[in-house]
Amino acid sequence: MNEMTVARQRSMWVAGLSTVVEWYDFTLYLYFATVLSRVFFGGGEQAMLVTLAGFAVSYLMRPLGALCFGHLGDRLGRRWMLLASMALMAAAMLATALLPTAATAGTTAG
C-alpha cells in the first residue's frame, strides 16, 4: 500500500472511533439521566426535564458543529479539525465529570 492509502485508512479509523465515542457519550447520558437529574438538579420531574433538555440541546447542536467544523476543515485541514473536535468532546466530558453536585453547590450546580 502506498502512503496515501495508509493515511486515508488511518483517518477513517479515527473518524469511526470518534463517532463511536460520540454515540457512547450520548448513550451514557441517557442511560444515567435519572441519576444526573437527581445529582445535579435535586431530583423530581422538573430536574428530569432539565436533564433531558440538556441532551436535546447537545443533539440539536450537532448540525451546527458539522457546519462550522466542516467549513474550517475545508480551509485548515480535516485532520486538524477532527483532532480539535475530539479534544473538545473529551474536554466536555471532563468538565461534566468535574461539575459540583446539587448537595455541594446548591442550585448553582446545574
The position carrying cell 422538573 is: 46
pLDDT of residue 46: 92
What single-letter DSSP state applies at residue 106?
A: G
**Residues 52, 57, 58, 59: is their CA dihedral positive or negative?**
positive
Tens digit of each residue's pLDDT (9 = 90 or more) over 26-36: 899 899 999 98
Over residues 67-96, the pLDDT tens digits come to 998 899 899 988 888 888 888 888 988 988
Question: Where along the chain do its domains lie?
Answer: 23-60, 63-99
- Taking the C-alpha atoms of residue 60 and residue 54, their distance in angstroms, rounded to an integer, is 10
Residue 18, phi then psi, degrees to nearest 5: -65, -35
Q: How many CB atoms lie within 10 A of CB 47?
A: 20
- pTM, rounded to two decimals: 0.68
